[in-house]
Amino acid sequence: MTLGLGTLRSMLFVPGDSPKKLAKGDGAGADALILDLEDSVAPSQKAQARELVPAYMAERPPGARSSQLWVRINPLDGEYALADLAAVVAASPDGIMLPKADGPAEVQRLSYYLDALEAQAGLAAGSVGILPVATETAKAPFQLGGYADAGLARLRGLTWGAEDLSAAIGASTNLDARGEWTLTYRMARSLTLLAAHAARVQAIETLYVDYADDAGLRESCRRAREEGFTGRIAIHPAQVAGINESFTPSAAEIDHARRVVEAFERAAGAGVVGLDGKMLDRPHLTQANAVLAASAAYSRR
């Protein structure tokens, strides 16, 4: 994946029916807000949320937003999704989060809807991205490998979720006795990570439930970043700083990456170089360049 200005470290959920919580979004510091029309909004409040969310975005047009503005719509095969899209697309969301996506075909169907709605609203074709929650149904994990070759130009990333998958398969828990994900959910997580990199889009880690446990969040983010995730979903503003800091390269990492790049530049054409008593090959150079690209992207924010 090529890192750039579109790389999102933190994506904060904000209930779309709460004027108070929406008003706090600008000061949260998140790279993106996910204005929610799905699980955090009761059926009786869906209509109100469809009014509040586009009004919020219209007051913050593209180019004047402190965070990207994404909208989580309701599942595509349900009764609310088309009304959600009709309400929000004209307000130029940066992207649509698609919950309970069965696979690439469903993302493609959403893309066709967006083609028509963008044209109707006079928006640039393809300007609205898509982020599917790619593991929330029993079928979905089997489709993850298909994202790489599906030709989904709007695909910006892949994320995963455990709670809806638990419900879909009738599980009483998704955690083991130590509080860690059980095998089914570790498998779904790993496949999402691999699928995102195969499709050359962002791998977004799922939420960390205990929003008061900052130390635990940071440790979890550290491990996720080491594995290859490049950002994380937040469920509370208190989590944003920890996520942003955890997914931003440290000064030591940046310094080491620069030295790796310089070592390869001095040995032009070499496949292997020595640095600090260690032999480094081309994958180390690729990793160093990714660190520097991420650092450059985040320093502009």
Q: Could you tell me if 100 and 124 lie in one domain?
A: yes
What confidence tier does 25 reach under pLDDT thresholds 50, 70, 90?
A: very high
Residue 230: predicted pLDDT = 94
Q: Could you tell me if 200 and 268 lie in one domain?
A: no
Q: Could you tell me if 289 and 229 lie in one domain?
A: no
What confidence tier does 4 reach under pLDDT thresholds 50, 70, 90?
A: very low
215 or 273, higher pLDDT: 215
Range scoring the smallest mean pLDDT among 41-50, 127-136, 208-217, 258-267 = 258-267
Question: Chain centroid to CA 177: how far?
Answer: 29
Q: Could you tell me if 100 and 239 lie in one domain?
A: yes
Q: How many domains does the chain have?
A: 2
Query: Averaged over 168-178, what is the pLDDT?
Result: 95
Residue 5: predicted pLDDT = 38
Question: What is the CATH classification number for the domain harbouring 200?
Answer: 3.20.20.60
Closest CA to 220 of 196, 136, 252, 210: 210
- Beta carbons within 8 Å of 264's beta carbon, 6+ residues apart: 270, 273, 280, 285
Q: Could you tell me if 270 and 233 lie in one domain?
A: no
Q: Could you tell me if 156 and 228 lie in one domain?
A: yes
Q: What is the pTM of this model?
A: 0.91
Q: Could you tell me if 207 and 67 lie in one domain?
A: yes
Domain that holds residue 288: 252-299
